[in-house]
Amino acid sequence: MRNLILLCSLILCGMAAVQAQPKDKLDKDRLESWPPLRTYTRFSLGYALQEKFKLHTQYCGFNLGDGKRDYVPQDITRFIGKRTLRTKVETADIRGGGLFYYIFKGEERQRLFQDVKFSPSQLLRAGSLSEEFALDPDKNFDAFLMTKNCSGYLKAALDAGIEPPYSAFKTALDRDERRQSTVVGLCGSFVSPLRIVFQANDDRTTEAMLLLWKFYAENPSFVNNAYYLREFEGVLLKHIATAEENAKVEAELGVNFSGPLSSRISASLGRGKTSATSFTGTDWETIVFADFDNYYTKEGMFEPLPSPADIRNYFNRLQITGSEAASALMTEGAIHQHQVSVAGIPEFMTEGFWEIKPINTDAYEGIPSLNAKYYFNAEDQTFGCTFTVAGKAAPRYFQGSLSGRPISLNVAYEIRSKKPVGGEYLSFVVNEPIQTSAHPLVSLTGGAFDLSKKEDRRFALQWKCTVNVEDKENPVDYSVQPYVDNILARQRNQEVAMRLTDVRGDAQKHCFYLTFETAETFPLDKIDDSNMTTLDFSFDLHLKSSRSGVRTSRSMRGDINLPTTQSNIRPPEALEGN
């Protein structure tokens, strides 16, 4: 609606001139004087702006033809601040924010940007940056915004006292109604997002460091000789030719504005709006101001990229700790897994890229294994690598009495890149105490005497007992019969030979029912169950772990009560009588 009112007023102003002379002759005269002839030198700002604005006039349908014309709108001075159209500039043959991500060799810093042969392989593309070419002029310096559609282009000429042809107004109205052409420009001091990434010391930094490491591996001539454009002062210009994009520009930035960016943002957009969709994309033309002096220098715009040694030091400083949920207790005979996660590691630098160098080898039986697996969280877009170190705890820490066993083992290892870059290895150290578990814990409870009938009406003496098992941290396989040996029953210096005759496991109650009996048999009349005697009883129980299949050994000790017999066990009073 605004454009329609503007054009109507412009048309009315031109009608008076139409009454004085034929329209065709008037249009011809205006076409010869609009736009004026170009007077800029080849390396000036005015010359550099020509391409985008000439394209704009073509999309607007202004059949201007002559390539020597000055296509820059006449109100451009409100957009370029303290600079003029004669300011010396350099133009980079790389679109938009790509200049911020480009890796320069040291000698390229002295070349004109237009003389640099930009290569796509030298772009440091960081996937953690949501908008690869997001633009945001430094808020500490003056910045200017310009949006110009077809009618705005004509109004700039009229405000400067130049009258475009009558036919141009009708064409401009048609193009603006269909939102077919708009030029958006930013002028100010621009800071590379890489500078922010390298200073962040978070997962974005990790990703950028590793991408740079990969670049050095593939391009060794850049080692200790790589730079990026930290900042520059200049203009970024973009031509929009689709109705959808133009609608976004109108909604976010307005139409036909030319002036300070800060005032425009504070009035309608709010700070930080320069990261909106209108300021993203790859089709920005990059123009760098080259009016260098003692304060604004070409070399001062660049900053060295982290070297392989810098990247190594960054990883050495990482505080890596294991995951509580993934780092289980170390248990006897079982494979223990210790996990650590490092955010920001790209997928191509996970499996097969790393190796383990144990520092404390005493904790494990042999050398532990390493598995590196990429992870990605779709909800918050975080990604990285989970390292799993797997090994069996050394058996010696689970031998002897429980009181003599360590409650924790110190696990220390270095995860290191398999291949060096520039003579440096990527590495980080993990050093953590891991709690141990004495499970399975066993206790001998209960007990009852019984007789087992044998041949020739003889009987063996039986002892039935229960072994209770606490195995939450190292589960026992109750379906497998435990192995029992070193069975010993003794009264003073006299031994009674006994053997295991039955074992039953109860997984629900976490116990085993064991039945022992004497090797010797007795006639029933020789068994005096009214006169019981106590014997020291012990045996070794070997339980199979359900996790590892390894058997853990536990020594059992207790008392058993058996009847006295005339052949082998005499009551204490009888022994004392001898």
Does a structural domain hold residue 572?
A: no
38 and 99 together in one domain:
yes
Report how far residue 496's alpha carbon sits from residue 569's, in angstroms, rounded to the nearest whole number: 8
Does a structural domain hold residue 69?
A: yes
Copy the structure tokens of residue 81.
């601040």
Copy the structure tokens of residue 240.
């929009």
117 and 228 together in one domain:
yes
Owner of token pair 């042809």: 165
Amino acid type, 25: K
Owner of token pair 């820490």: 397
Stretch 395-406: mean pLDDT, rounded? Answer: 78
- Name the helix (H) or strand (E) containing 28: helix 23-33
Amino acid type, 175: R
For 523-578, write each residue's pLDDT tens digit. 999 999 888 999 999 999 999 988 877 888 888 999 999 998 875 444 444 333 33
Phi, psi of 27 (to 5 degrees): -60, -40
523 and 388 together in one domain:
no
Report how far residue 491's alpha carbon sits from residue 537's, in angstroms, rounded to the nearest whole number: 9
pLDDT tier for residue 382 given thresholds of 50, 70 and 90: confident
Does a structural domain hold residue 578?
A: no
CA dihedral for 202, 208, 214, 219, sign (positive or negative):
negative
332 and 394 together in one domain:
yes
For 308-346, write each residue's pLDDT tens digit. 999 999 988 887 766 654 457 888 878 888 888 998 899
Does a structural domain hold residue 398?
A: yes
pLDDT value of position 405: 80
Rounded to the nearest 10 degrees, the angle between the axes of helix 166-177 and helix 150-159 is 140
Query: In this predicted model, which residue has the larger pLDDT, 138 or 399?
Result: 399
Q: Which of 268, 10, 228 is nearest to 125 (CA)?
A: 228
Domain count, the chain: 3
451 and 535 together in one domain:
yes
Greatest CA separation found in the chain?
155
pLDDT value of position 323: 62
Report how far residue 441's alpha carbon sits from residue 556's, in angstroms, rounded to the nearest whole number: 11
| Percentage with pLDDT > 90 across the chain | 35
- Name the helix (H) or strand (E) containing 247: helix 243-252
Q: 16-30, 297-311, 336-350: which has the minimum mean pLDDT? A: 16-30
211 and 330 together in one domain:
no
Q: 67-71, 480-484, 495-499, 514-518: which has the minimum mean pLDDT? A: 67-71
Burial of 493 (0-12, 13-18, 19+ CB in 10 A): exposed
Q: Is the pLDDT of residue 264 over 70?
A: no
Domain boundary among 282, 306, 330: 306
pLDDT tier for residue 373 given thresholds of 50, 70 and 90: very high
Q: Which of 387, 384, 375 is nearest to 413 (CA)?
A: 387
535 and 505 together in one domain:
yes
239 and 192 together in one domain:
yes
User: DSSP states of 442-496 as a string?
Assistant: EEEEEEEEEEEE-GGGEEEEEEEEEEEEE-TTS-B-TTSPPEEEEEEEEETTEEE
pLDDT value of position 505: 95
pLDDT tier for residue 307 given thresholds of 50, 70 and 90: very high
Contacts of 242-245 with C-beta under 8 Å, sequence gap 24+, read 242/179, 243/178, 243/179, 243/180, 245/278
Q: Is the pLDDT of residue 130 over 50?
A: no
477 and 557 together in one domain:
yes
Does a structural domain hold residue 571?
A: no
Ramachandran class of 17: left when φ > 0, alpha when ψ lies in -120 to 50, beta otherwise: alpha
Domain boundary among 422, 437, 452: 437
Does a structural domain hold residue 312?
A: no
Stretch 446-466: mean pLDDT, rounded? Answer: 91
For 42-71, write each residue's pLDDT tens digit. 899 999 998 888 888 888 877 666 667 888
Query: In this predicted model, which residue has the larger pLDDT, 128 or 505?
Result: 505
396 and 524 together in one domain:
no
Stretch 23-51: mean pLDDT, rounded? Answer: 76
Copy the structure tokens of residue 101.
């991500």
DSSP state letter for 217: H
Q: Is the pLDDT of residue 407 over 90?
A: no
- Name the helix (H) or strand (E) containing 336: strand 335-343
Report how far residue 429's alpha carbon sits from residue 416's, in angstroms, rounded to the nearest whole number: 9
For 183-209, write each residue's pLDDT tens digit. 888 888 888 888 888 988 888 899 999
Which CATH number does the domain housing residue 556 bear?
2.60.40
Rounded to the nearest 10 degrees, the angle between the axes of helix 203-218 and helix 193-200 is 110
The strand order across the sheet containing 144-149 reads: 89-92, 285-289, 231-240, 182-191, 144-149, 258-260
408 and 477 together in one domain:
no
Domain boundary among 306, 336, 354: 306
Supply angle C-alpha 108, 110, 115, rounded to 5.
65
Stretch 10-31: mean pLDDT, rounded? Answer: 52
Does a structural domain hold residue 577?
A: no
What average pLDDT is seen over the chain? 81
Q: Which domain does 398 fall in, by range?
A: 318-437
369 and 445 together in one domain:
no
